Chain A
Amino acid sequence: MLERWIQLLACEFHVSTDAEPVMRWLDGVRPSALQDYSISRRHRLEVRREAGGHRVREDGEDRGLIADPDEAGALVERRLHELAFGALAGCTKVHAGCATWRGRRFLVVGHGRAGKTTLMTRLLVDGFGVEGDEMVLVSDGRAVAYPRRFGIRRRTLGLVPRLGALAPHLAGAPDSDEPDGYQILALDPSQLGLSWRIGCGPVDVLFLLDGRHASPTRALGCPAHAMVQGVMAQSNPPSGGRAAWVRDVCSLVRGAAGYRLTLGDLDSAASTVRQCLEARLQTKDETGGS
């Protein structure tokens, strides 16, 4: 019997199967991140081979018989995330990458295809403590990246060449059959020999991705009320309702310096992000902030 214990923030899952292809599939998508988050729920998922396919059970309850092992693995993965999100229903979900640099936490907020993953991947290979590329959960002024492997598009391998050098297996992945030609590769930072640790805490700097241009990346200070508008446009409300949503976003913005980031080339993007964080460090040092 093959077994894994998987933490997704507040949930811990025990997954077991007698079907090696199912576990191989899950091992290809589960995040290895160490997570500084209290576990409040535990679930058990089992996949057993039987006549006609793979029987999936969740906490002892039948979830169906799936013929294809990859599809059985995909069902288990989907349930892991649904259950994990269910345990975090009280948090506001923000479309953002999350990272730390010299002890300061920052978010890069933007819609899908705004360039979050490409920028976060570049920052990762530059030595930033990148914790997530896509989804951040916010509650009571604290933010935590949702533990999901980074969704690297094949195009990113060309934009961040060091990624391909560190993980040549990514470049060898099969071509996409997606209509837009993008192949999504599930990158775990451990595949690059990097540690992946997810923490939870207040945010020092917020970057709002605001389009792209051919010039060097530019960061402009953004008023707090405009940041609230920008972050709300890229987030989903918690189960507590819209008042709690506004409260969460305001608490996130209140403690942070805000910038609108217009992405140009990635070299200037990385240095611009670093400069903004250095400015924040300096401000906090001058004001005696922690």
Chain B
Amino acid sequence: MIDIADLQIHYADAATPALRCPRLRAREGELILVCGPTGSGKSTLLGALVGLVPHFTGGTLRGHVRVAGRDTREHRPRDLAGVVGYVHQHPATSFVTDHVEDEIAYGLETLGLAPTVMRRRVEETLDLMDLAELRTRPLRRLSGGQQQRVAIAAVLAGGPELLVLDEPTSALDPVAAEEVLSALQRLVHDHGLTVALAEHRLERVVHHADGIVLVGDGLASDVLDPAEAMAISPVYPPIVALGREAGWAPLPLSVRAARRAAVSLRGELATPAPDVPAGSPRRAAVPAGPTPRAGTDPGLLVRDLTVVRGGRPVLRGVDLQVRPGELVAVMGRNGSGKSSLLWACAGALTAAGGTITVSDRAVADLPVAQRVTAVGLVPQDPADLLYAPSVGEECRDADVDAGVPPGTCAALLAGLAGPLDPATHPRDLSEGQRLALGLAVVLLSRPAALLLDEPTRGLDYAAKAHLVGVLRGLARDGTAVLLATHDVELAAELATRVVLLADGEVVADDDGPHVLATSTAYAPQIARVLHPVPALTLADVRARRDAAQGVPGDARAAG
């Protein structure tokens, strides 16, 4: 189905190739996962499979890419349209029409199918992707998960043999992501479709994969067996980290396989050690966990907040408190009001009822220029905060805006992201670097409360770990940090408290480990593998093991 030979892709005038792939062969009916750190060339590889590289993006291609027997040298993406389907990362930008049914029919129209065949295919695809009730809905009124399904349906209707997806679950909550991925897997098994997808949140996908392609530093490997690939991959999900730590071979990739392998490990971790209370394994792992200042400063206090948008209440009577030094994660499905809560706390959305105060100052009463010293929000796309054509100029503007000595922002940025070339355009930075720049700009005003909306979208594991360190540092310095996130693993690493929102109301507001460990949708992988042992992250596991056994060397006994 896919046959790549001696591929080299050079962009514009670059000396080194953006992607090299000596050999890649994939059979029909496989789900192939392409994984690697940010900027390693995954999108280039997927683009090459569709023909977008080089016909659409420009560049020079050497070697051959053959898909379903057709060489992309002779076939432009539009000629491959009946055979290969491509789903972009942001489905909203790829919609051509206004309604669900028209969007699905659009591809069929360009392929020139007979009208009766088109009707049938559209109906079948609507059923396949569970969109039948939404058929006349305007596309802009769909949620993120629904839009993703429509984008996949629009491409599926033409009956392609290969489906290429670029980060299909980045905008989705865990349950919606699981639905989309399971639908894809069912298509692979029942219809013989071949799927190639790139994803950063490997914990959602790795158990579905039939083969893994590792991409690093512009070099792509062949399709490898998943367990072998995960054993050598530089990016790996928590379940693989646990497997590597415990020395399991072959590496289990699904929760079920890992539970079978973890029987003895569970036994050894379940023995309560004398000086570690059973309920709090995480505190031992985190060095001197953030202690809130002794009750004088209430931090961010939200009382009975009601927000109405478009005539509909998106938040109803929400009560929340984030004390200085606390890291609180707000979680919930798409549309439950997380973003609205954050924007209302930042003062950008007017509240229909209730109060929001930071250190006893009402946020809504503050003038805009002073609001940034009370609460700072980093939006979902940090590029929204950046206006200047270069990093250096952005830092200088930010220094002027915040009234701090010149060079403060640059120093702060260097601390967050390492040395950056000040002449780089912000759009050329990687996701993690852009987030760091946005964070630096917001932190210049020293807000008492820091709010982050989905910070880990598009970040790989290394960048995430770095962000975790930065946020912990901020909490230690006394900032109140509130995160809205879908990323369960991030919440497991970071959050002291977790708040669950559903339909605009607070459903749970409790100690982080307790909420996450007892939830089905929001339980991190390690918690599911080691249930009922209350360990959420690898650090927890190490701490429990060291505490239970006392001697680090005995840890290798796990089978």
User: Is the pairing of A and B real?
Assistant: no
